[in-house]
Structure 1
């Protein structure tokens, strides 16, 4: 499979029409059709279902679409980083969830952007499992993990900041007057929980035998969206401290949980890989920030 052909394939997927894709690619429609047919022959499967006005992907085509996007993105990043041999430029891609620890990292990235305007920064949101997969396939340069995780396969820097779990609720909520929230306080109350924390059973020890009695009415990946739901539905939300956005949500408060749960924040990257100059610069400056 050639990258050129994969780019042709992705253009057809985007346009959903071979003629329109050919016009976009500045090649003839018969030539593009021939390239796609050759690709199907090479893979031994049909990638498209050709309709009268547009095409749709087969399940094999959907799989190739995902992988082709990763391959083309990786090739573009490699090219940009190689071309930056004489100066600091290229792409720096970092995956992370929401956390107070991101402030230090974003400060470092902001300073790099000011000093080296040709550096392009890409921030990708996702949970730790998604981030680890992207690190391993090369589409991420770095990931930021919140919480304990096996780091044997990675190089890493531990951040001094930590995340503390607590509950966000409305100011007029039943538990608003409590200084800390214990598991028994949440019984029978509508509760929103981070989908990653729930799938990893993060609170099993905290709520103990009360777990089956917890009224979990929903999950979330982005704290801001969940805060809007708390505001409108009188729910309670288990999340990290410092994520309450008072600029957009005025009547919510945060209370820490007891016993407390504290999560480490770690920046990780692949072992045994040659880092681009911009990646090396990021690590150097991040380390320097830890000395202040």
Structure 2
């Protein structure tokens, strides 16, 4: 049966609001979505998480996305199919937009490994569809903040979650080597170290800190270069992480060599220490708290 000939809806794209029947046809192809850094699939909230349309730039609540948002007031049912609109599809059933919230934003690269942009994710609640016993999403946005301790040896990075298809940047490899050396240094001093996985309420993808020195109560972000851009990024990451952690946590940036004095002063003015290796030990400047 030619689905579009019977029920209408455009043949191109993943969202097809029909002009001839009271339906919005939705097509979900998880394998294609994975290549772009986001995931369609069932979450542990018993909703189907469905990525909006728009492959370039931040997605907007227009056209097909708006037809999902307004499907109730427009008197349309959401009909979800697994597959692409131009091929053979499996009908999963009727859905309605969930409430509180019906949608949220996450990050994903543009098609073709372009720059990272904002993507709309809809939470679709089943009307006639059956929720499978096995859940397919690796993460589901929690309703409250979740902070977990994980082994510092785990190589999870936020960038790999945003764009899992890309190769690791050389800067990340340098950061990884730098972290391993500093962690060994801290452990030889008798310190306990870990990483934190921070998942803010409503966020799909967790944040991963580089190192947390539990003994000194210091959060450390590593960068593989001493450029101003890298240090600015580290500052932003540390401030973002700290607001989710206990008050009073110290902050430090681990670098491969001594940065320019102006950048040391910039960090010190924010209460952030700069740390770099020198011979068999490490030098710290601008510390507002104890850093090894």
TM category, shorter: under 0.3
- Higher relative contact order, structure no. (Cα contacts within 8 Å, ≥ 6 residues apart): 1
Q: Which has the higher helix share?
A: 1
Q: Which has the higher strand share?
A: 2
Structure 2 length-normalised TM: 0.25
